[in-house]
Amino acid sequence: MLRELKEGLAAGASAEEVVSAIFEKIKRSRLNAYNCLSEESALERAKNFDKKPWGGLLAGVPIAIKSSISTKGIETNCSSRILSGYIPPYDAHVIERLKEEGAIIIGKTNMDEFAMGTSTETSCLGPTRNPWDTDRVPGGSSGGSAAAVAAGEAPAALGSDTGGSIRCPASFCGIVGIKPTYGLVSRYGLVSYANSLEQIGPLALTVEDAALVLDVIAGHDPRDSTSAEQDRVFLPHTERYLPSLTNGVKGLTLGVPEEYFGEGVDPEVEKAVWDAISKLEDLGAAWKMVSLPHTKYALAAYYIIAMSEASSNLARFDGLRYGLRLGADQDWHTTFSEIRAAGFGPEVKRRILLGTYALSAGYYGRYYLKALKVRTLIKEDFERALSAGGADLLVTPTMPFPAFKIGERIEDPLSLYMADVFTVPINLAGVPAISVPCGFAGGLPIGLQIIGRHFDEASILRAAKAYEDATPYHEAVPKEVV
Amino acid sequence: MAEKDVIIGLEVHVQLNRLRSKLFCGCSTDYHASDPNTHTCPVCLGLPGTLPVVNRRAVEYAIRVALALNCDIQGETLFYRKNYYYPDLPKAFQITQYDFPLGLGGSILIKGEDGEEKKIRITRVHMEEDPGRLVHAGTIDRAKYSMVDYNRCGMSLLEVVTEPDLRSPKEARSFLDKLRNILEYLDVFDGDLEGAMRIDSNISLTGGERAEVKNISSHKGVEKALAYEITRQRSARRRGVAQVQETRHYDELRGITVSIRTKEEAHDYRYFPEPDLVPMRIADWVPKVEAELPELPDAKRERFVAQYAIADDHARSLTSEIRVANFYEVVAKRAPPRLAAVWIADVLKGELNYRDVTIDRFSSHQMVEILDMIEKGKITEKAAVEVIRTILDHSGDPSVVDPVAVVEAKGLARAEDDAVKAAVRAAVEESAQAVADYRAGNEKAINFIVGVVMKKTRGRADPGEANRLVKEALDGI
């Protein structure tokens, strides 16, 4: 789809008209996918493009950005009151890359506050609605990005994925989302929730679109010490993922982890995933059952690590230098305590408190260190399952069930946390994964998760593309698209 | 004096201020003459989304120091987060080291209270970032508001922790002097810059709990604060009041320490490994850094004794500051080394200390000229001291630079023999009583006459020579 858009623009279609049409659509929309639009700068850039078109992998292509990714001159508030009005003086690495390749930033998308959630309901700006059923959540935390892409309010978007925050909303909204290998995409400029787990990645309508955006944003960045060295990834300005799409699945062996099926999984979801496995088999892939025996510890380890890191990352928000300010200042201690009390929502406070507790003297060994050990075991599970002679890729459901109703789970954090059971192990292991549409249950999209070896995004994309070409699910259009 | 029951250990924060950029970002370290908050960037301001990148040169400097302090360099080293809220800390955590510090188990030699060499053990050396600086509008307890300057934020610090091996405030001070000396030898540190070194001292009396006196920036201040603490803890003990583990602040103006918090109120810093940085394998860096390590004070002292045949005390004095040692070596190439050692170690350093200025105020060329005049008998030692003082007191005055010109202008040249002889004759004539006393067998009376000669020649006569001539005149009559 991006290819058609690019070809149209190259053939003389007006970028200004494309961008204006998108803004009109956004303004008519009831989805609340955006929390801030950069209409003026986007239209100006589009006009400039029309006057004197430039080149690049995304020349003239409008793109939406999750509110946790820093954009110079555009408010980046992470859907939190405490960052209201914060306008970064610098661009994230991925934003620099998008601009270098000619893209046009149209706005910042709604999200769970500081990416803490699975439904985009914890946003201080109200929930985003699922375009397939506006009574339902779009998933989270990158729910705004997913809903915008699914509803045609953005041709493509960036999200961030700490424990499923790209794949979950991609699955709930019936689109494609990639969580890259940890270290493939620079985190410089991504407002940290849990540094050791998260990656920025694309949300798009098709595998090809997602691969194109990934081509743009992947690559080494010396400003991120956890960014992989050049020889492990590919040189910037080259297309590495797009050409791998056409290779098909012949010769690939798929592993089906036994722990990802059964109890707690919606039967329709389970059926759709098995149908997908059969389809891939028809296309020439082999498959076998594998085991990831430490899966049952993943959620606990994930939440301890994520909350611990978050408690430290979010401590800097005190209203002193930027963000929320309340009435008259008192002494520093009182002022910053009041700002934090008023600025953070209940889920963020819950995670800060739990994380602070887990890192406290006397508990560190019992919680944080133990969680790190579990993380190592889970990583080894994946390395074993994906070792030479084992499987090349793993296939699982992305989410155990389709999108739930707004308000249905928000009062029960544990049941919300449980929804992440198939996505968090991937972040703990640092391996890449994609979610692609694989069917519907009661009119709601279902996502297929394909997981690969470290830095082997190419194989994931290859399988996802072959599957997409052989199925109609990505062509379905949600009700809410006007 | 060393007291058997006094136990002191130090934690010294050293700013590696000879680095050109900060520890985790590219900001310049040259902020001392700049306006507040002009040497900052999104990274050192801790803006959302920014990430630290380790300055490799800072790690090299840190390895240099750890090697010079005879530490074991760890094969792999790691940064941690130390979490606490304070407005000078924009991320609300300090990136520091915890487990796996850069260097462990070192030592340095100081001159102990008894004058003997004493080994002070170093527990660990680790890297961390400096926070910003608070500026209070008024005094800390009265200020209506405070301002933050983040220029300092993110500067590379080394924390050097000693074992409790020090036994007196004076030993603590000699440790600090020696540490500063080593750091300057390594060219990683300029002790003259504001905030270059900040010291936390732990002090206890045998059997008692310890007090930590925090954040003193001068060596003299540490010595005074520790002396105060010894008196305070002793008198508390006499009154039967037990010392509790506590943190104290040194009030420099009043020369006393004040309790800030007790152990119960201590922070829980919730240390955990910094997820934005990866472990560093530094074992491979060590050989290169070691090969480039400069000569250190103790080695230089031994070499000076051997190479220039000077006294050990002189060598120790000359090497106690890298700039003085370098100055000496330049002079010793162009003047007799032993004479140079005496004049630099005993005279010049004393005059510099008296004026509280550094040796940069004096040039090796000036020293060579002065030594030349002494050696050739053109000026007396007394006049040479006068020349040094004159030059130092007129620093910056271009007309008072050349020692030969100073001697001329002030009429300090050694008096010609005839003039001295004439003065001797006149002195003998004027001093009838002293002459009579001398003749009556009082040899000391001659000193009075020599004094008159010196007065008449305005000090330009050599006292020994004058003595000889007076004696000749008296005995010859």
Question: Residues B160-216: pLDDT tens digits?
Answer: 999 999 999 999 999 999 999 999 999 999 998 988 999 999 999 999 999 999 999
In a domain, A80, yes or no: yes
> pLDDT (tens digit, 9 = 90+) per residue, B101-137?
999 999 999 988 888 889 999 999 999 999 999 998 8
> pLDDT (tens digit, 9 = 90+) per residue, B356-394?
999 999 999 999 999 999 988 889 888 999 999 999 998
CA atoms within 13 A on the CB side of B469: 24
Give the H/E segment covering residue A41: helix A39-51
A192/B49 Cβ within 8 A: yes
Positions of chain A with pLDDT lower than 70, given as ranges = 230-239, 480, 482
Instruction: Say which residue the tokens 């599970």 belong to.
Output: A381
Residue of B nearest to A320 (CA): B87
Burial state string for B3-25 with b = 16 or more CB within 10 A and e = fewer than 16: eeebbbbbbbbbbbbbbebbbbb
Give the H/E segment covering residue B103: strand B103-111
Q: Is residue B3 predicted with pLDDT exceeding 80? A: no
Q: Is A134 exposed, middle or buried (0-12, 13-18, 19+ CB in 10 A)?
A: middle
pLDDT at residue B477 in the model: 53
Q: Is residue B57 predicted with pLDDT exceeding 80? A: yes
pLDDT at residue B264 in the model: 72
Q: Is residue B346 predicted with pLDDT exceeding 60? A: yes
Instruction: Say which residue the tokens 């309010």 belong to.
Output: A153
Instruction: Name the minimum distance, in Å, from the CA of A82 to any CA of chain B.
Output: 12
- pLDDT tier, B252 (very low <50, low <70, confident <90, very high otherwise): confident
Helix (H, G, I), strand (E, B) or coil at A43: helix
Q: What is the mean pLDDT of residues B301-307?
A: 96
The structural domains of chain B, with segments of one domain joined by +, span: 6-289, 297-409, 417-476
In a domain, A291, yes or no: no
B270/A359 Cβ within 8 A: yes
Q: What is the mean pLDDT of residues B58-85?
A: 96
In a domain, A437, yes or no: yes
B278/A191 Cβ within 8 A: no
A321 → closest Cβ in B85, B90, B276:
B90
A315 → closest Cβ in B45, B87, B93:
B93
Residue of B nearest to A187 (CA): B49
Say yes or no: A404 contacts chain B, CB-CB below 8 A: no
Q: Please tell us whether the domain made up of B417-476 is placed in CATH 3.40.50.300.
A: no
Residue of B nearest to A329 (CA): B145
B48/A76 Cβ within 8 A: yes
Q: Which residues of A are annotated as catalytic?
A: 66, 141, 165
Q: What is the mean pLDDT of residues B338-353?
A: 95
In a domain, A373, yes or no: no
Reading the block at residue A371, the tokens are: 């969680």
Say yes or no: A193 contacts chain B, CB-CB below 8 A: no
B276/A192 Cβ within 8 A: yes
Count of domains in chain A? 1
Say yes or no: A224 contacts chain B, CB-CB below 8 A: yes
ipTM of the shown complex: 0.95
pLDDT at residue A238 in the model: 52
Instruction: Say which residue the tokens 């070792």 belong to.
Output: A387
Rounded (to 5) percent helix, strand, coil in chain B: 40, 20, 40
Which residues of B are less than 8 Å from A187 in CB distance?
49, 51, 276
In a domain, A94, yes or no: yes
Q: What is the mean pLDDT of residues B429-449?
A: 88
- How many other CB atoms sit within 10 Å of the CB of residue A96? 17
Complete DSSP assignment for A280-317:
HHHTT-EEEEE--GGGGGHHHHHHHHHHHHHHHHGGG-
Helix (H, G, I), strand (E, B) or coil at A111: coil
Q: Is residue B400 predicted with pLDDT exceeding 90? A: no
**In this structure, what CATH number is given to the domain that contains residue A231?**
3.90.1300.10
- How many other CB atoms sit within 10 Å of the CB of residue A325? 14
For the four alpha carbons of A202, A205, A210 and A216, in that order, the dihedral sign comes to negative
A225/B52 Cβ within 8 A: yes
Give the H/E segment covering residue A345: none
pLDDT at residue A237 in the model: 47
Say yes or no: A336 contacts chain B, CB-CB below 8 A: yes
Say yes or no: A188 contacts chain B, CB-CB below 8 A: yes
The amino acid present at A36, given as its one-letter code, is: C
pLDDT at residue A482 in the model: 56
Q: Is residue B262 predicted with pLDDT exceeding 90? A: no
Give the H/E segment covering residue A140: none
A188/B51 Cβ within 8 A: yes
B85/A312 Cβ within 8 A: no
Binding-face residues of A in 196-215 toward B, CB within 8 A: 196
